[in-house]
A and B are shown apart, each in its own frame.
Chain A
Amino acid sequence: MVKYAVICASNQNRSMEAHNVLSKKGFNVHSYGTGTMVRLPGPAIDKPNIYPFGTPYDSVYQELKGKDPQLYTQNGLLSMLDRNRKIKDAPQRWADSVDMYDVIITCEERCFDSVFEDLANRGEESSKSTHLINVDIKDNHEDALLGGRAILQLAQMIEASKDIDNDIQTIIEKFAERYPTHPILHTIAYY
């Protein structure tokens, strides 16, 4: 069974949406963030709410609810956190992951770069190849929703293939054709 990892910056919105969609469809999926801290919008653009990775979604949920329930309901943070806490405990950092994944899907080019660099710097000692794919998704609720569906499509295409390694460029091409709004990047990387 193909193991998926979906990755965005904070492991809150885009990766969790994809995680949500994929796990619902029965995929073996994990999710991560590549940032140093989890950043969520705050009362002003220069006052974000910042938490370390590993802070449970639930406690963030409770905190924000306590702070300003109206604001955080309105901007969708609470419903997002509510969804997240039903999927897993807390946001995870990519750098701390130990498992090997067959397909790694990032939601932003920055994350793609990070993962690329990180894997290369890990030393490639396992000689295991992996597909690193970036599906560009803007970091808002609507785009996350659409992006999640796109990632699901991608996963389904991958799942449909009997030999992913061999078919990957066709899949990528197809995806790029179908979702021009989500520019896709692909590279083979090694563990």
Chain B
Amino acid sequence: MAFSLHHNERYLRSLEDFESDVGSHPANAQVFATNDFLDVLYNLIKEANDQTKGVADHDESYESEIEILKAAIRAFATVVPYVFSSVCQNEAETRLWQNVSAVKEILLQSLIHHQNQGVRFAAIKCVQVFILLQSRSEGDRSNSSNDINISLVRADHRILKVDQLLEEALSMVKIMESLLKAPDMTSPTITATLNSLVPLMKRRPQFVPELTTALISWNRPPLSQLSSVQMRNVDKAVKLVFITLIRSEQLSSQRTELINAFGAVGGDAAGMFQSRSQKLKERELRERERRESSEERRSAERNVSKRSLPDPTSVSAEKRQRMGTESNVSQTNLLAGFDLESLPLPMVAEFCLAILQNTTAEILTERLPMVYPALNTVTTAQTSAAPLLETKVATPPQIVGARSPDMHGVKIEPSSSYGNRSVSTPTGQGNTPEPDIVKNEGAISSEANSDFKTITAVGRNPLPSAQERVIQSLKMQPYALASPPEFDRRQKIEMLKLAVQRILEAEKLSQQNLPIIDTTQDEDASRRQAAVTFNSPLKTTWILLIAKLVAKGVQISKSSEDASDGTNTDTKMDTDNLDNDATSSEVDELRDMLLEFIVENLPYRQELAVQWMYEEMRMDQHYANSQDYQPKYFHWFIKLVKSALPFLRNDDRSMSKLLLDAPDLNAEVVGLLKGDMERRPERYKATIQTLHDLALLRPPVRSYCLDVLLEYCINHDNSKRAFAILDVKKWVPDHAISPIIEEFSIRSLRRLLDDPPEKIKEDGMETEPAQAEPNGTSAMDESGDLPKGTSEDAQAKEENVWERESVIPHLELYFALCLKKPELLESLFDVYINTTIQVQRIIRQHITGLIRNIGMHSPKLLEIIGNFAPGGETLIVRILVVLCDTVRPTPELVDVVKKVYQERNLDAKFLIPVISGFNKDDIKQHMPKIVGLLNGTEAQRKIVRKVFSRIISDSGNVSAHMNAVELLVVLHNTDQNVSPKQAIEAINICFSMTDIFTSDIISKVLQHLMEQPKIPLLFMVTLIRSVAEHPDLVNLVLILLQKLISKRIWTSPKLWEGFVKCIQKTYPQSMKVVANLPKSQLMDVLTKVPGIATGLREFAEQNGLGRVLVTMNEMGLIEEEQE
């Protein structure tokens, strides 16, 4: 800062020091409260003032003088409180005070009117500081510690004369006032004055009235010299001053005046506030109204609780505030839209009271009815109880009327001892409990009452308004509730029913909100859903509640009526219950209601049902000893099951769950299930599962359930039977239930020994065919080629035969069990042996699957095969056939079969199935038996052919034990044990299998046989056959014949016979062989086959075989020709 040279450098430096030290920290100014510094300031101010006063030419030095002046005044203003304080403490500081007084004089005389505005700003502030110093702090003491003022001055202070100073302060206030209205003042100066007044007024409330008046009239008469912009600035500043003051806590006692003044200064005061906080206010108003009602009630309750010391808190204030607003608006309309929220509550209260005091009784009387409805509508909007409140306030007797039981929204009777509390709590949301309302009224009354008492105390007339009447009526203390009306039993039950109904309806509604409820098809999902729903604690609560209510709710309501003492309630209860038929039918209605509700959606209400049933059970147990008591549990449980069943979806398992969870079950329940199953085939599977679960988990009804299940195991419907068997099978063989099932299966098997069921006859339509059939059936038997042994029995019963359809049901369960437990098969033989042929055949056909599944590895099966009862041969053969149908038998099986075959000298049929399991020796050993099967019939030939093919063909990766050549050789060598006829048949079978027994094979066989030391008889047969079947073998045959000659074939007449036949067959090629025969044999041949003579002679002639010709000649064969 370039200060003028007019001043002492030291002064300027001191000022600069001050500026930098104190600057923004006024508290640092204390150290500058020295004579020296004051001298500096005094000199600077005086000189600068002199330099600048009246100067029109604003050159640079002038400007710097102004700067110095402003800085010095500011410094002075900052430091003077500390100077004052030190003068107060030190009466010797005369010089200090002299400086102060000197500066003050310049200040008041000249500076505040200085031509430069900036100097005026500083001076005005300085004056403000002086006023603060020279006046007493009368207001709030909170900041008295740093408020330096005249109170610090001792009486008889040598320098400071208190009275004088006070007077001076007043005059300074006047100066300030005059600044506001000075004709030559600019708006910045005025606003500066205004701004400096704010702290002054806040700290010295004693000046508020005077200054307020000045502020109000600052512009009266209008100051023409101010431009519109300046006017606006001042106007705004004045209003802001008021706003600041109104909001100030220190001036709370003078708020009324300030608000009035504020209203007075601005024609647009309301508008200004509105624009400022309109949005805020509107929002808050809404919020407040919402808040208010609840707050009001809360505090009202509080008031009731300590009515002796009414609490003049926010609520009453708020209320008065609202009332004040209303009346104020209607009177002056000044504060329309004024944001009352911005005012502190105590102030509003004061304000309202002041207004009420100034209002005439007439106006109050006139306005109050308007206020009250307004008040009421606010409440109405907030609480549903409001209409009630109004009715009751107006006509208290109606309270009782409003609760008459025939109204539809009847509440649970508050006086009933049980259940009402828990019932009303969940439903209580909509119905505000009545005692609250009454309290609420009470609070309002006491509160409003105190307001009006104040008014009366002031000397106004009592108010004959509606409000007053209301207050009067509520003044009756203490306020007692009317005793609850007594309802008769009928009504109570009616109410109970309504209550239950409401709970149930509420439940329905809440379920409708579950989106998946109807769309769920997936059983698992719905169960999960149900689980979720029922897991919520709320739900559990009401379920329990309802269950208890229904099971014993009525007894309790009755007992509360009859047993007033309540100690022996229980005993009274049941006698009541039994005495009163009407009541029990009521209860039943209630139960029916619940039942209907549960049935509607069992999957979701199954839990409820269980709870209810438990309650019923509990009641039953509770009264089990009282002889007149009729147990209800089963009655209702069966009713429930009965009504629920038809509504269940096909795959719904909720019934199963219900039954599993139910406290008790009996045969009747199972019967119901069975009935349902029969009626609704689509529920069959679900019910079977239910029965299964019950049988498993509820032993008391196990036998009933099993009966049903097993019954279905022999049902005629294939799919039903299969499902039931599948189900029952699960218990075999390990579960405790298993023996029962096994026994049943065997029993049902044994049924086959009895007469066939009469059912077929009963069918009417089937009667005729059934009668006609026996002949046909027995005809079939003959062709079936079965052992005849057992067929006699069948013949005996032929008038009524087991049909395939009726046999299989008896077999299936048994077979299914056998698969799990093969030892059961033993029982089958008993039956098999003793039953009819037809049944045997069906058994044989039907057993295929079972045997295949058991397989030949089962030791039990092997044991059975090895030890079967006589008569069961056909079945065993069948079993063996099935076992070995596609696979080679295991050595164990082969051993077993061989053993039993030998022991009992059985039919070769036993061997056939296992033949592929035999080794070469076995086959050789048993071949005669097999060949022995041949009896010239095609059927047996087929069997043997199959055996042959099985013997020589590979099975799987195991090569055959015997090849075709070996087989045929073996067949030739069986001649000693088999009749030739059979042997030939067997060989013929081989020949018929041309794809296997090719000419190549045959030639090998022939050569092989030829080499045997003893040529089998059948050899010739084969030889002859070979020539016939395979012409290409002729040469081989001739060679063989030649060899036979060398083996002197003729020594064996049979072979020789064959030889001759063969010669005949191979004629004429055979001639060369014949030519080689010895003479006697040659003659024999020629004798036996004369036809060859010609050919032989020609052959001999051509080849020059004289020996032959001689022989022929000897026989006379040639001679004749020659002749």
Report if A125 contacts B (CB, 8 A): yes
B164-208: which have CB < 8 Å to A?
186-189, 191-192, 194-196, 198-199, 202
B195 partner, pick from A113, A124, A176, A184, beta carbons under 8 A: A124
Using Cβ atoms and an 8 Å threshold, which residues of chain B touch A168?
Answer: 117, 188
Whether B227 pairs with A173 at a CB distance below 8 angstroms is: yes
Q: A165-B121, A166-B117, A166-B118 are in contact. Are A126 and B194 (CB under 8 A)?
A: no
* Cβ of B24 under 8 Å from chain A: yes
A116 and B192 within 8 A (CB): no
Do B244 and A127 touch (CB < 8 A)? no
Closest to B233 in A: A186
Given the interface contacts A117-B240, A127-B122, A165-B188, does A190 sit within 8 Å of B196 by beta carbon? yes
Q: How far is the CA of A100 from the CA of B191 in the complex (A)?
A: 19
Instruction: List A contacts of B247 (CB < 8 A).
Output: 117
A100 to B78, CA, bound (A): 15
Q: Check A129/B122 contact, CB under 8 A, given A121-B244, A173-B229.
A: yes
Q: How far, in Å, is B16 (CB) from chain A's closest CB?
A: 16
Residues of B within 8 Å of A, CB-based: how many? 46
Q: Does A189 contact B (CB under 8 A)?
A: yes
Q: Which of A142-191 contact B (CB under 8 A)?
A: 162-166, 168-169, 172-173, 176, 184-191
How extensive is the interface on chain A, given as a class?
35 or more
Partner of B66, one of A98, A100, A163, A186: A163
Q: How far is the CA of A164 from the CA of B70 in the complex (A)?
A: 12
- Please report the C-alpha to C-alpha distance between residue A162 and residue B66 in the assembled complex, in whole angstroms: 11
Does A127 lie within 8 Å of B233, measured CB to CB? no
A120 touches B199 (CB 8 A): yes
Inter-chain contacts of B199 with A (CB < 8 A): 120, 123-124
**A117 with B78: CB separation less than 8 A:** no
The smallest C-beta distance from A13 to any residue of chain B, in angstroms, reads 18
Contact assessment for B77 and A187 in the assembled complex, using a CB-CB cutoff below 8 Å: no
Distance in angstroms between the alpha carbons of A58 and B118 in the assembled complex: 42
A127 lies within 8 A of B192 (CB) = no
**Given known contacts A117-B240, A121-B244, is B74 in contact with A128 (CB within 8 Å)?**
yes
Q: Which residue of B lies closest to A188 (CB)?
A: B192
Q: Which of A99, A166, A187 contacts B24 (CB 8 A)?
A: A99
Contact A187 B237 (CB under 8 A): yes
CB neighbours (8 Å) of B192 from chain A are 129, 187-188, 190
Q: Which residues of A contact B241 (CB under 8 A)?
A: 120
Q: Does B129 count as interface, using CB distance less than 8 angstroms? A: yes
Once the chains are docked, how many angstroms separate the CA of A188 from the CA of B117?
Answer: 11
Flag if B244 contacts A117 (CB, 8 Å): yes
Residue ID in chain B nearest A134 by CB atoms: B236
B217 adjacent to chain A (CB < 8 Å): no
A173 CB to nearest chain B CB (Å): 6
Are A98 and B24 in contact, CB atoms less than 8 angstroms apart? Answer: yes
Q: Does B293 contact A (CB under 8 A)?
A: no
Which residue of B has the minimal Cβ distance to A117?
B244
Q: Is the CB of A172 within 8 A of B125?
A: no
The B228-254 residues at the A interface (CB cut-off 8 A) are 229-230, 232-233, 236-237, 240-241, 243-244, 247-248
Which single member of A112, A116, A126, A163 contacts B78 (CB below 8 Å)?
A126
Are B118 and A163 neighbours in the complex by a CB distance under 8 Å? yes
State which of B26, B125, B191, B248 has its C-beta within 8 Å of the C-beta of A187.
B191
Q: How long is the Cα–Cα vector from A119 to B247 in the complex, in angstroms? A: 14
Bound CA–CA A83/B122 (angstroms): 39
**Residue in contact with B229 in the complex, picked from A113, A127, A165, A184, CB distance below 8 Å:** A184
Question: Which of these, B66, B116, B233, contacts A172 with CB under 8 Å?
Answer: B233
Per a CB cutoff under 8 Å, which of B121, B227, B232, B276 touches A188? Answer: B121
Minimal Cβ-Cβ distance residue in A for B192: A188
A109 within 8 Å of B (CB atoms): yes
Contact A185 B78 (CB under 8 A): no
B229 in contact with A129 (CB, 8 Å): no
Is B620 close to A, CB under 8 A?
no
Main secondary structure of the interface of A (DSSP, over half): mixed
B63 on the A face (CB < 8 A)? yes
Chain A nearest CB, measured from B4 CB (Å): 15
A85 at the interface (CB under 8 A from B): no
Encoded as 1 (CB less than 8 Å from any A CB) or 0, chain B from 271 to 293 comes to: 00001100000000000000000
Interchain CB contact under 8 A, B244 and A120: yes
A165 touches B233 (CB 8 A): no
B126 at the interface (CB under 8 A from A): yes
**A110 at the B interface (CB under 8 A):** yes
Contact A124 B196 (CB under 8 A): yes
A102 → chain B closest CB, angstroms? 11
Report the minimum CB–CB distance from B202 to chain A (whole Å): 8
Query: Taking CB as reference atom, which chain B residue is nearest A98?
Result: B24
Most chain B beta carbons < 10 A, residue from A124, A127, A163? A127
Chain B residues in 8 Å Cβ range of A117: 240, 243-244, 247
Contact B121 A185 (CB under 8 A): no
In the docked arrangement, what's the CA distance between A162 and B189, Å?
18
- Contact indicator B195/A187 (Cβ below 8 Å): yes
Q: What residues on B are CB-neighbors of A109 within 8 Å?
A: 275-276
B24 and A191: CB pair below 8 A? Answer: yes
Q: Tell me the bound Cα distance from A172 to B227 in angstroms.
A: 11
* Distance in angstroms between the alpha carbons of A165 and B275 in the assembled complex: 30
Asked whether A165 and B77 contact (CB < 8 A) given A127-B129, A176-B229, A188-B189, the answer is no
Known contacts: A126-B26, A187-B236. The answer to whether A169 contacts B121 by CB under 8 A is: no
CA distance A99 to B233 in the complex (A): 25
**A residues less than 8 Å from B125 (CB atoms):** 124, 127, 129, 190
Question: Roughly how many angstroms separate A125 CA and B203 CA in the complex, as a whole number?
Answer: 13
B485 to chain A, nearest CB (A): 50
The distance in angstroms between the C-alpha atoms of A157 and B236, with both chains bound, is 23
In the complex, what residues of A have CB within 8 A of residue B129's CB?
A: 127
Q: For window 22-78 of chain B, which residues contact chain A by CB distance below 8 Å?
A: 24, 26, 58, 63, 66, 70, 74, 77-78
A113 touches B276 (CB 8 A): yes
Q: Using CB atoms, name the residue of chain A closest to B75.
A: A127
What residue in chain B is nearest A174 (Cβ atoms)? B229
The reply to whether B24 and A186 form a contact with Cβ atoms under 8 Å apart is no
B24 touches A169 (CB 8 A): no
Q: Are B194 and A125 in contact (CB under 8 A)?
A: no
CB-defined interface of A99-118 with B at 8 Å, one 1/0 digit per residue? 11000000001101100110
- Contacts A98-B24, A100-B24, A188-B192 given; does A165 touch B126 at CB 8 Å: no
- Nearest-CB distance from A171 to chain B (Å)? 10
Q: In the complex, A186 Cα to B194 Cα: how many Å?
A: 12
- Given the interface pairs A127-B77, A127-B129, the reply to whether A169 lies near B196 with Cβ below 8 Å is no
A185 to chain B, nearest CB (A): 5
| CB within 8 Å for A169 and B232 given contacts A128-B74, A188-B195 | no
Query: Within B114-128, which residues are at the interface with A (CB < 8 Å)?
Result: 116-119, 121-122, 125-126, 128
Could you tell me which residues of chain B, from 74 to 88, have a CB within 8 Å of some CB in chain A? Answer: 74, 77-78
- Contact A120:B195 (CB < 8 A) given known A109-B276, A128-B74: yes
Q: Per a CB cutoff under 8 Å, which of A99, A119, A162, A186 touches B188? A: A186
B245, closest chain A residue (CB): A120
Interface string of A70-103 (1 = CB under 8 A from B): 0000000000000000000000000000111000
Q: Fill in one digit per residue for A32-75: 1 if any B CB lies within 8 Å of its CB, else 0.
A: 00000000000000000000000000000000000000000000
Pick 5 A–B contacts, CB within 8 A, sort by A. A119-B195, A123-B199, A126-B24, A127-B77, A173-B227
Given A117-B247, A129-B118, A186-B233: 17 more A-B contacts, CB < 8 Å: A119-B195, A120-B244, A121-B244, A124-B125, A124-B198, A163-B118, A166-B118, A168-B117, A169-B117, A169-B188, A186-B188, A187-B192, A187-B194, A187-B195, A188-B191, A189-B191, A191-B24
Which 8 A-B residue pairings sit nearest by Cβ, starting from the closest? A165-B118, A188-B192, A187-B191, A120-B198, A127-B77, A129-B121, A125-B26, A166-B117
